[in-house]
Structure formats: C-alpha cells, structure tokens
Structure 1
Amino acid sequence: MDKGIASIFKPFLEPKEVYKGGKNIPLSDKKIYKLSSNENPLGASPLAIEGLKSAIHKIALYPDQTDIRLREALVNDFKGELHVDQFVTGNSGSEIIDMLLRAFINEGDEVIFSNPCFLPYSVFSRWYGAKQIDIPLGLPNYELDREGILNAITNRTKIIFLTSPNNPTGTYIPKPVLEDFLKRIPKNILIVFDEVYHHFADAPDYTTALPYVQNGHNIIALNSFSKTYGLAGLRIGYAYTTKTIANYIRLIHKPFLMPLTSLEAAIGALSDHEFLNKTVKTVHEGRKYLESSFTSLGIPFWPTQANFFIVDPPLPEMEFTNSLMEHGIMVRPVSQFGAPGKVRITIGDQEANAALVDSLQKLKAH
C-alpha cells in the first residue's frame, strides 16, 4: 500500500524551532543603524577587500581543491603554535557546527548545551536525531552550571557545547572554571568551545582553547571571520583542535568547498593586523561608553566580554525593539536564544552608539 512520500521522512526533522538570523537593513529614506547582528562596526578589512578583488576575474574557474592555503595562513596567524593539520575550515562557523554534528552524532546520541546560547547548537543537532540536553546558565549572572552538566553526562553523550564569550549574554568562562571542568570530562566526549568573540575579551582570567588543544584535550575551538574581520557576507569560519580530531573531521570536507572569493578575502584579513587592532579598540571604547550610558539611564545590563550587550529593556522586548526601530536603531530580541524578555544590542561605531543613547533617552522621557 502506498503510504506517500511523508512516510519516509525522518521523524526528528518534523518542523520545530528554526534558526532565523538577524534581519537585513530595510529600505528607508532615513539613516538606519544596524545594531542587531554583532557585525564589525568598521566594515571589512581593506586587505580582505583587496584579496576579494583579486579573485573576481577568476570566478569562472573552480577554486582551490583544498583549503590548504588558508590553513597555512592560520598557522602564521597563530605564530606557529599550531600545525597546519590542526585546522578545519568551512563556510562560516555555523557550517563547522554542522560538520561536527555530522561527523560525531548518530540518532539517539546526546548533545549538551546551556541556554541562553547560539540557537544552531540545538537546531542543527536535531537534524541528526540527537537528544538535546539543556543545562541552563545560572541566574542572575549567566554562569556555567558545571555540576549540572557533569551530572547530565551519560554513555550516550557525545558533544558538550561551551561558549566564551557567550552569545547572547556576553559572559565568559573564567580560566580556573574551564580547567576544573575539563579535568572532569570523560575522554570520549568532544568539547566544542565557541570562541568567536575572543578578540574582544580582555578579562584577566579569560582564556581561549589554545592551551588545552596544545595539551591534547578533546576540545575544538570554533572561530569566525564574520565579526572581528568584517566578512559576515562571505560566510567563512575555522576551527582548531588536535591533529587526531581535525584529520577525522576533514574526512567529510568536500573538495572545492571554499569559494575563491572567501578564500582570498580571509587570507588577506589575517594579514591586516592594523584593522584588527582598530576594530578591537573601537569595540572597547564603545563598550565603556555604553556601560556608562546604560548605567546613567537606569537600563539593567550584563557586563560583557564581547561586541554586544544583553539588556533588560524598560519595555516589553518587542515593544522596545519596535520603538527603537522607529528611531532608526535595529536591535535583536533574544527570547529565541533562551533569554526571554531580554534584548541584545551590538556595539557600533561612536556615531551609532550616540544615536542609540539618544534614542534611549527619548524612550525613557516618555
């Protein structure tokens, strides 16, 4: 008997939550400041743009068969502290998350994450039939619940997602906390450490995953060219880990995966230290300015190590978001990320930050 095509659909792919990225700037006659997607306030690296231009006349040809040139550039960027075989690249950090799940997860395996967090951890894991275990960050400060995660581990646990600095909260995992946690994790579990915003972190006890990769821990660090390097529109990211894990993941790395335009732009961006330093300086100055402004306006916020803030708005989240949009300011409500009622605001350049503060003053005055 013909049961119809839906009878062979995977049950765990039934419509549920879907990851929706930030909205694009709408067509408008007035100035719009997009402070909703954590993009680079300065645009893109000039050297990245030069690299992109150099690739334009070659787009009728297939790109490099492998990503080796980008991995070699990453080795140089890391000052030789990692080997070329320790890097994995992809078309965005999100794609690397997908690759990891595809490589490690079988139906019924378990994935642990901690809301509020980047939604693809849960959405993408569902695509592979994973059982999703949410151990929420502890309130009021959004701290990692180490004991909760450790108690949730079973013989089906394959991946634990950690994020520092965390999107959307801007909070981070202090080095002593991370070190204690890693010592207690079974050796057959992969720690995915999302450090996309690490360039903006300046806390004295902040750490990337680098020392733990070097010490042989089963940890893989996710990174992106979308934020610090200003290449969000080219969709390019990378990760670093042990040779054993990286070589395994590359077994599913497609040939010709990296568009030539993205490849050349990323290689150019890695060499532009002046642009990177200017970006970080702009974000740090903006962070101090907005911290002071939020405090004087009486808007509760959480200290951040990233290029954005999460705030507790004076109005319901959608009313607040829509009211700011009327003033030409785009921000992002983050209930979908597991932070109901909160709003994420990207740190812009000084013009955008001043426009935001002006708009907030007008909202508070009514």
Structure 2
Amino acid sequence: MEKGIESIFKSHLEPKEVYKGGKNIPPSLKKIYKLSSNENPLGPSPKAIRAIKSVLDQIDLYPDQTDIRLREALVQDFEGKLAADQFLTGNSGSEVIDMILRAFINEGDEVIYSNPCFLPYSVFSRWYGARQIDVPLMAPNYDLDVNGILDAITARTKIIFLTSPNNPTGTYIPKPILEDFLFKIPKNIVVVFDEVYRHFADARDYVTALPYVQQGHNIIGLNSFSKTYGLAGQRIGYCYTTATIANYIRLIHKPFLLPLTSIEAGIGALNDHEFVAETVKTVHEGRAYLEKEFKKLNMIYWPTQANFFIIDPPLPEMEFTNKMMEEGIMVRPVSQFGAPGKVRITIGDQEANMALVEALKVIITKT
C-alpha cells in the first residue's frame, strides 16, 4: 500500500498544546487596561521611536546583513564587560531560545526546566525531538529545586533552563544558590538563564548571568527589548555568553535576520537611559502600591521581583479573568504555564493600578 504524506511527518511534531500569547485589547467603548502581557506601562522608548522614524524611507532596501551594529551597542550598554562576539540577537527572546535549541538538541536529547515557567521552553524543545524533564518549582514559595535538577541530569542532558525573575511567578534565584549550582553541573551542559525581567529585580542577592559568563561557565544570559524598553511589537531579543558558545550558535544565524527598524529601535532604546530609569521607577512604585492594596484585600499573592504579580484569585481562574474583563481589566490565567488556578497581573501605571484595585474590590464584594 502506498504511503501518504503523513508517513514522513516527524512523530515528535504530533499535534499537542501550543504556546498562546496574551490577547490584544478588544474593540470596546469602555476603557480597557491591558495588564495581561507584561508590557511596558509607559509605552515605547522615545529614542527608539525617533530611530524608527529616521529610517522609514529606507524600508524598501534590505537591512544590515549581520547584527553587528546592535551587538556593538550592547557592548556599550554592558560597559565593555563583554565583547561583540559574545552577543547574539534575534527576532524576540523566543527566537533566541529556538536558535539555542536548534544548535544543541538532537532527537532524544534531554532538556530540563521547572514549571511554572515560560511555555516555549517545553513547546520549542519538542520541535527538535527533545525529551522534556520537568523538575517543578517547590511549594509553597516556588523555590528552585536544585537537588531535583541535579538528580535529573543524565548523559543525554544538553540544556537546563533557569529563569530569574521567573515568569509567571515573579520569584528569583538567589546568588549563592545559582553559584553553587553552576559549579556542580557537568561541563558539557548549557544553562540558559532567562533574565528578561532583570531590570526590575532589586533583591540584594539577585544576580544575572554576567559574572558567570565572565568566569567561563557554559551559561547563556537571555534578554529581550519587549519589557524594559517598550518594544514588544518590534520583536527584538538577544543573549550573551562565552565567545565559544556564541560563535557556535552564530553558525545558524540567518543573514538579514533583523528588520532595519528593529536594529535602529534597539540601538536607540539602549541609549535611552532616562526612559529605562523611569520605567523601573514606575514598576517599583506600582509594585509597592499593589502589594499594600493586596494585603488590605486579603488577596493571596507572591512577592515579586518582576513587573507582574501572580495571585491566587478568589474565583476559578477563567471566571475571575472574565469578570475582570467586565470591569475593564485584562489579566492572564497561567494554567498553561504550569500554575493551575493562578492568574498573572502586570504592574501598570498608577491609573491602571488604581483601576485594578477598584475592579478587585467589586469582584470580592460580589463573591
């Protein structure tokens, strides 16, 4: 019997749950506050906007063949602590994750992550036939199960995903814990350290991947322009690591990968230090305000180092999400991220935060 086209489909690409991004604001006569996607509460970087406008009459031409100009701007942003060949960019942090997996994973290799976490770790690794090992964060505080991860490592382990601050919990990995972990893992494993929300972290023992890259550990610091710089729509991400790892992954970096407007926006945003400072200040003030209000309302929430909170709502997550929408507030249920029953709420500007509190009061009163 002649085989159909399905006979050459990859078995590990059988239909399964896929990553679904947050919803956009629906058409409505009522004002909607979008607190569901962790976007910048102040909008985009003004310098990035000016940079985009300056090249709009050139979009009929191909962009830069490589990302070197953006990488050189990143060198300046990191105060020369890393070289240009230690950076790699892509169309969003998610694409950088995809490139890392494509570079290292063969079918049957193992990837370790810890739910609740960013869903692409598991979804994207499945595309390459990886065996996925979930070592869940530990209740009740969503702490990293270091010993569990170490016990899960086998000869097939290629990549371990760590996130700090973590999406969707807002928790982080203290420096002593990360440092001890890095010295215990085999030297043929890559640690992808997702630090997309690093600008918002202010814990005394918070640390990025930077010092460990400088020490030569096989760690990749994953970053994005979507949050701090307000450029989610431009889809710019980057990572930094050792020159050995970065230049290896660069072998699959496509020419003309980044659009001209994205390159210019990224360079402009990196120079917008005032905007970054104002964004961080807005988030920190909003974080303190909402934490105080959550306590008044007896809301169950987790302390956060990011620009969002995860809460245990007073209603089932979808019912709560729908009722919040009726009150003009978009929030994100995160069962899909491995946190069943929980809801993630972005910290907005003060107007949005006050509207959120009022909506919670209405729902709690009616519950």
Q: Write the distance in 1 (CA, Å) between the matches of 2:42 and 2:253.
A: 32
Query: 2-side partners of 1:128 and 1:93: how far apart?
Result: 18
1:262-273 matches, within 5 Å, as 262-273=262-273
Q: Deviations over 1:296-338 (max 9, x none)?
A: 0010100000000000000110010000000110000000000
> How far apart, CA to CA, are the structure 2 residues paired with 1:210 and 1:58?
36
Match of 2:342 in 1: 342
Q: Distance in 2 between matches of 1:313 and 1:337?
A: 16
Which residue number corresponds to residue 210 of structure 1? 210
Q: Point out where structure 2 has 5 or more consecutive residues left out of the alignment.
A: none
Q: Which amino acid aligns with 2:182?
A: L
3-state SS in 2 of match to 1:57 = helix
Distance 2:283 2:72 in 1: 28
1:145 is matched with 145
Alpha-carbon distance between aligned partners in 2 of 1:258 and 1:318, rounded to the nearest angstrom: 37
Task: Report how far residue 221 of structure 1 moved.
Answer: 0.5
Secondary structure, aligned partner of 2:300: coil
Provide the TM-score with structure 1 as the length reference: 1.00
User: Equivalences for 1:90-109 in 2 at 5 Å?
Assistant: 90-109=90-109
Q: Report the Cα distance in structure 1 between the residues aligned to 2:226 and 2:364, rounded to whole angstroms.
A: 33
Q: State how far apart, in whole Å, the 1-side matches of 2:52 and 2:313 are.
A: 40
Matched, 1:44 2:26: no
Measured after TM superposition, the shift of residue 19 of structure 1 is 0.3
Q: How big is each residue's C-alpha offset from its partner over 1:71-95, in whole Å with a ceiling of 9 and x where there is no partner?
A: 0000000010000110000000000
SS in 1 for 2:55: helix
Q: CA RMSD in A?
A: 0.4
Q: d(CA) in 2 for partners of 1:191 and 1:98?
A: 14
Alpha-carbon displacement from aligned partner over 1:175-204 (angstroms, at most 9, x marks no partner): 000001001010000000000000000000
Deviations 1:122-178, CA, capped at 9 Å, x for gaps: 000000000000000000000000000000000000000000000000000000000
Q: 1:53, 1:251 → 2: CA distance? A: 32
Q: Structure 1: how far apart are the matches of 2:2 and 2:39?
A: 50
Partner Cα separation in structure 1 for residue 299 and residue 6 of structure 2: 49
Shift of 1:283: 0.1
Partner Cα distance (1:141, 1:59) in 2: 48
Distance 1:310 1:228 in 2: 19
CA distance, structure 2, for counterparts of residue 28 and residue 251 of structure 1: 47
Equivalents in 1 of 2:312, 2:296: separation in Å?
14
CA distance in 1, matches of 2:365, 2:105: 52
Task: Give me the TM-score of the superposition, normalised by structure 2.
Answer: 0.99
Match of 1:10 in 2: 10
How much identity, in percent, do the aligned residues show? 79
| Corresponding residue for residue 298 of structure 1 | 298
* C-alpha distance after superposition, 1:205-260 (max 9, x if no partner): 00000000000000000000000000000100000000000000000000000100
Provide runs of 4+ in structure 1 moved above 2 Å: none
